[in-house]
Amino acid sequence: MKIAIYPGTFDPITYGHIDVLERAMEIFDKVIIAVARNSAKQPLFSDDERVEMIHEVVKKYGKNVAVDGFDGLLVEYAASKRAVAIVRGLRAVSDFEYEFQMALTNRKLAKKLMTVFLMPHEKYTYLNSSLVREIAMHGGDVRDFVPPSVARRLRKKAKELS
């Protein structure tokens, strides 16, 4: 069984991430969405909230998709899950340098673990989680960017923080 890890902060998960996930599901038998707990970012949603939100969104895919939180090095987490690949989305040239550096560093740390880049649909190339958070925190409509359950949680968070 070919297992891939799709890691990220997912603060929150967007339609762009889901697009990448669906493409990864075409290639791998199982995709584990790995939510980084030790992200250098200061997430709006807690670790548990991010995992829960993703669960709600991906449960329709059944057993081929799992959601988990992880600490520490990604390559070690991937080895613990017997994954053969890391999946990352590549949206625009601006993503390349950072992704290139991460992929080569991870390869140095774990030779056999492949990093696979997948391009989301071009309609998502401009999308990222920061923009979605910003729009939501200012009371804007994010329904074109995130699934309804995520939009609801963003609205609730905006109310709590206002």
Return d(Cα 48, Cα 54) in angstroms, integer. Answer: 10
Residue 64 or 104 having the CB closest to ligand COA = 104
Q: Is 17 a catalytic residue?
A: yes
Catalytic member of 17, 50, 88, 133 = 17
Residue with the CB atom nearest ligand COA in the bound state: 16
Cα–Cα dist 154/141, whole Å: 10
Residue 2 CB, nearest approach to ligand COA (Å): 20
Binding residues for ligand COA, per CB under 6 A? 7-11, 14, 16-17, 20, 36, 39, 73-74, 89, 91, 102, 105-106, 120, 124, 127-130
H helical segments located in 5-113: 15-27, 47-58, 74-80, 93-109
Q: Give the torsion sign (CA, 120, 126, 132, 135).
A: negative
Q: What positions carry a catalytic annotation?
A: 17, 41, 91, 129
